[in-house]
Every structure is written in structure tokens, then in C-alpha cells.
A and B are shown apart, each in its own frame.
Chain A
Amino acid sequence: MTPDDARDMIQAALLTVAPDAELGDVAPDADLREELDLDSIDFQAYAAELSKRSGLPVTEEDQRGLTTLAAGVAFLTRARVRP
């Protein structure tokens, strides 16, 4: 998956949880929860949606690393090249 595809997937997953959560000019390293007003329940739902769309398991551990756009893109793109 290219970084652009990953970003699109993240955007789509966010919109299912919070339809007002436009990534727009959110900085890659900004905390998505803060920028997009996601509470902890929203954030868990986002992680689950991302898992569903990508087919990748998202563990508790992974979820901790998904709080920024950059981390989400890294997670999705890296996962694909795993052997």
C-alpha cells in the first residue's frame, strides 16, 4: 500500500466514526484524538474500523501507536511488506 492509499484508508475509517473528522491540514505528527475531538470510545472504534478495512489485526499495543496520521500511515504501509 502506498502512503497515499494509507492516508485515504485512514480518512475513510475516521469518517465512519466521526463524520466531521476531515484530515484536511492536520499535521502528520498531531494527536488525532485532540485534533479531531475523538474520545476514547471513538478512538477504539477507529482502530477497529482500520483493522476491518485493512484486514490487519490491530492489537492493544498497535492501537497505542495509531494516535497520529504519520503513525497510521507507517502501520499500514509497513504491514504490507511483512513476509
Chain B
Amino acid sequence: MGWEPIRKRPAGTVTPNLLDYERTRSDFSWEGARQQLTGLPGGGLNMAYEAVDRHAAGPLRDKVALRCRDRAGHTTELTYDELRRATNRFANVLRSLGVGKGARVATLLGRVPELYVTAIGTVKNTSVYAPLFSAFGPEPVRERLRLGDVRVLVTTPQLYRKRVEQLRESLPELEHVLVIGDAPPGTRSFAEAMAEASDEFTIPPTSPDDMALLHFTSGTTGQPKGAVHVHGAVLAHHVTAAYALDLHTDDVYWCTADPGWVTGTSYGIIAPLTHGVTMIVDASDFDAHGWYEVLQDEHVTVWYTAPTALRMLMRSGAELAKRYDLSALRFVASVGEPLNPEVVVWGQEALGLPVHDNWWQTETGAIMISNYAAEDILPGSMGRPMPGVEAGIVMGDGGRVVEVRDPEAVGELALRPGWPSMFRGYLHDDVRYAESFVDGWYLTGDLARRDPDGYYWFVGRADDVIKSAGHLVGPFEVESALMEHPAVAEAGVIGKPDPVVGEVVKAFVTLREGNDPTEDLRTELIAFGRRRLGAVAPKEIAFDQHLPHTRSGKVMRRLLKARELGLPEGDTSTLEVGR
């Protein structure tokens, strides 16, 4: 409300890839865009070839592909040709282990060079890369390794001891663990395995429909889902990075997304490399000074980050930003949760650039709705659909959905299937996959509205999934972990609105008879949650001996949330969208 549109002046020194939204959209076809990719020499399409090998065979051969800063600030560089050879080695390591097409290879790692080598080497070998969030506790790690039938895990000795060692017996499928550093019993040294492998490798025949990536995400009910993505998705990665991030080959690009989530792969590895840019990889945790230093010292030109990080920077003040020379920076984009207008406008004041919000999710594989370099921004809006993407607002109508065109109507954001990075299944769960599509629409689970100019505005989730610091947290997974504590009879978990991270995980807990709701017990439960769940554990716990239930006996999270927000409980009906 009351936020002025940010009008774009004619371009600066770099001509945006998308100059005229309507025209680009009407002229666009995925078949036509396919010309921007090279394809495997013998036919077929492999993500790793498009990201690395095709550049290593051309004029970008000796260009720096990755510039990795470790926590101490030391830098390691890999050129496109060095990255080609390192990923060849890793593909050969997999081959020597008997790990081939379709087999899942996971990482539990921070932003270290080996992560990139593993990801690209894995898809090169036509195996399937599955990143895990390194701040997950042992329970979420176990669930995902099991669900993904993961055969190879690459991690550090520290993370192995803390999160994985105790699970090995319950994970018979996990045959090989490679560690970066001294190998504890039951693991092998990543470096030694690489040293024994050849750096020559021929990519096997790969079809655009072959599985390449497995990304875990959370739903309202049940355990996590494994969204399957195929090699053909690379076309969407490439095109959307050109339009939504305005990537040009000469850019120095920095994506701050954690490598354990989909953004960390689509836009933290694949898309930027397909454009032949130099990518900055920073291993450090968030720190306002440190981040401005990276932007300044690395001469970052395009920066893709998240609302939580921007809000933390905003807290530290525009003055701090002005102490650094950010003159190289020309484009800033954000994803993960809705970007409030204050941050968009703060970007102009502190960075001299507005922040471009965009929207997508694990299942879509690539950016679907976006603001663009040459187009006006309406602060608070996620923007308009990408060329090649058809979006709509739909409403449920007795098991069917219909599109609504009333500009004020709130409904579920839906997409017409057909873009190349659309997920091709939930692993081992065909029913859930089928349920995601109704009447020719993919239903996203997000509520939104579309204004008369075609800009989309996020309203909320259609389900109980929690969005915290850009990550989806499944309430069921958190409730299940808490209920393993002997004092807990039942738990209901919600997202409590938070000005910095969007939502924090809050649990309402009913105690078993004989347990008193003391401060000590609350502290014990928070610690218990953290040990099991890691970063997705509840930050707040409230005791409630009278959790509201549905007739079928499920905890009514919506009602808990309405109470938390001080809403009249009847108001929750407005959050419901029929499916």
C-alpha cells in the first residue's frame, strides 16, 4: 500500500537481456531457446556438458569459473578447463565404485570447491545429485538419505561424526562415504579417491528426460518429498538466468543460497556456469561486514540473495553499506520468501539499486515469476511470469479448479505444465505427484493475486508448510521428532511471523501425565529438538494441554496459528483454498 513503482531508466552500460517484456514473451518458444545450448557431441543433452565442458572446449577454457573463498578468506580458483578435469575425475571415482546411471549421490557440505566438483561430476556420470542442507540434524538427514536411496555421500569428517556415523546401520543402501579431510573408519578420503582417478572421461549418452537432480522439500503431511528433475531442466536454468538475473558472460556473479536447497543448485551451480560467468563462492556464514567485503573485493556485478539476509543487512544500516565500494554491482535479485517493499526501497538507498524479487519453488526447478532489469518494479510484488511460463490464479470447485480473472481475487497460484525444469515426479510417491496436477494446472500451494497489470502478489501458503529464512519446513517432521520425547503426548507446529526470517518454527506441546510444564522442561525440549532436527528445530515451545483437533483427530494447526496471531478463530476460513 502506498509504495511508488520504481521506474527504470534506459539501460546503463550493460544492455539487459530482456528489454521489452510483452514482445519477448510473445516471441519466445522453448524450442527456439534450445539453440542457446550446445548438446552433447553425439546428440543428447547433459547438464554438466552445458555448464562446463562446452566452455572448456572454447574461448572460455582458461577463464575462472569458480573463485572460492574459505572461512579464513583464502581463495582457490578453478578455470572452466580445470573444473572440466576435476569433474571428470569425480565421474571416474563414481565409475570405479560401480555407481552409474540413476544412482543417487548426496552432499552434506557447506560452500567448498568439492561440492561443485561432486555435483557436476555426478550428473556428468548420469548419476543423480541430491544436495542436503548441512545444518540438518541426524533425523532429517536419515529421512532424506533413506527416501533418496542414496548410495554415495560426500561430507566432512566433522559432519560425518556428528550427523551420519550413528545412522550408518540403519542405512544399508549407503555404500560409500567420501570425506574431505582425514577419513574416519567407514569412510574414504575424497582427495585420495580423486588422485587415483583419471581426468579423462567421456559423458555417456544422456537424454533430456534422464533424471539429473533430486531435491528434497517439505509438505504439510508425512515425511519429506523428493522432487525429481531431469537433464532437460538446464534449458530453463539458462534462459531464466538470462532474463530474471540478467546474466551476461562477463558478469561476476554471487549467489548466497545455501547449497542444500534448490536455489543453491539451479542458480548456485548450473545456470551461472551455462552462461560462462565467474562465480564467487564464499564459505562464511552471514556477517554484514563480510558480505559487503565480498561484494566490494570480488567486484561482484550480479548478486542473487534472500530476503532474510537483506533484512539483516538492513538492520545493520545503510551507513555500513556506504563504507564499501559497491560500484561494480549492477543487478540485485532475491528469492526465498516474499520481499517486503521496505527492503526493495532500502536497496535503492543503501546499494543504489532496487532489489528484484522473484518466485519459484523446488518443484518448478527454475524461476517462474520475476521482476526484470528493464521493467518497472512494484515494490512487494513478485513480478510477472517468465517468457515461456503461463501462470494463473485458480480456485477450487468441488475437486476441480477454475481460473479466476478478477484482479482482486485471492486464489492458488498455478502453472500450466510444459516448462523444461518442471519436476517429473516425487520419488516413490506417484500418488502425491498426480495430486499436484488438477485440470491441466500444476498447483503450487501458494496463495496469490494478480493485479490488472499482470503483476503477481504473494498472499500466504494454502497449506501449513512453514517458510523460515527461505526454507520450507514441514510441520509434521518437526512434530514427529518432538513426540519422540518421553514427556510429549502430542505436538502442533506452526510458523510464527517474524520480521527478519519470515516465520520462526513454534511448537505447541501437550505433556503426558505426570510431567509439569516447567522452564526446565521447555529448555530440555528445545535442546532435544535441536539435537534431532538441527536448524529446522522449533525456536519456541509453548505448553498447551488442550490442542484443538479436527473431527478425525488431527491437530488443527490453522487454529493454533490464528490464536497466535490474535485473529478471531473464524477468520481461518479465509485461509482455506479448496482442492
What is the interface of chain A, defined by CB distance below 8 A to chain B?
A: 15, 18-20, 31, 33-34, 37, 39-41, 43-44, 60-61, 63-64
Contacts and interface: CB of A to CB of B under 8 A. Distances in A.
A19 B320 contact: no
Interface in B298-344: 312, 316, 320
A15 B528 CA distance: 13
A4 B158 CA distance: 28
A37 B530 contact: yes
Contacts of B158: 34
26 contacts: A18-B526, A18-B527, A18-B530, A19-B527, A20-B527, A20-B530, A31-B71, A33-B285, A37-B137, A37-B530, A37-B535, A39-B135, A39-B535, A40-B285, A40-B287, A40-B312, A41-B469, A41-B500, A41-B501, A43-B285, A44-B312, A60-B289, A60-B320, A61-B289, A64-B289, A64-B290
B354 interface: no
A19 B523 contact: yes
A39 B312 CA distance: 13
A41 B71 CA distance: 18
B390 to A, nearest CB: 37
Contacts of A39: 135, 285, 469, 535
A31 B287 CA distance: 14
A23 B299 CA distance: 39
A71 to B, nearest CB: 14
Contacts of A60: 288-289, 316, 320
B385 interface: no
Q: Which 4 A-B pairs have the closest CB atoms?
A: A19-B527, A20-B527, A40-B286, A19-B523
B531 interface: yes
Interface of B: 71, 135, 137, 158, 285-290, 312, 316, 320, 469, 500-501, 523-524, 526-528, 530-531, 534-535
A37 B536 CA distance: 11
Contacts of B528: 20
B29 to A, nearest CB: 42
Contacts, number: 44
Contacts of A15: 523
A19 B501 contact: no
Given A43-B285, A64-B287, 20 more contacts: A18-B526, A19-B524, A19-B527, A19-B530, A20-B528, A20-B530, A20-B531, A31-B71, A34-B158, A37-B135, A37-B534, A37-B535, A40-B286, A40-B312, A41-B501, A44-B312, A60-B288, A60-B316, A61-B289, A64-B290
Contacts of B501: 41
Contacts of B526: 18-20
Contacts of A61: 289
A1 B503 CA distance: 38
Nearest to B523: A19
A19 B520 CA distance: 10
Contacts of A33: 285
Nearest to B529: A20
Nearest to A31: B71
Nearest to B159: A34
A19 B469 CA distance: 21
Nearest to B286: A40
A33 B137 CA distance: 14
Nearest to A39: B535
Contacts of A31: 71
Nearest to B316: A60
Contacts of A18: 526-527, 530
A62 to B, nearest CB: 11
Nearest to B288: A60
B104 to A, nearest CB: 25
Contacts of B285: 33, 39-40, 43
Contacts of B527: 18-20
Contacts of A43: 285
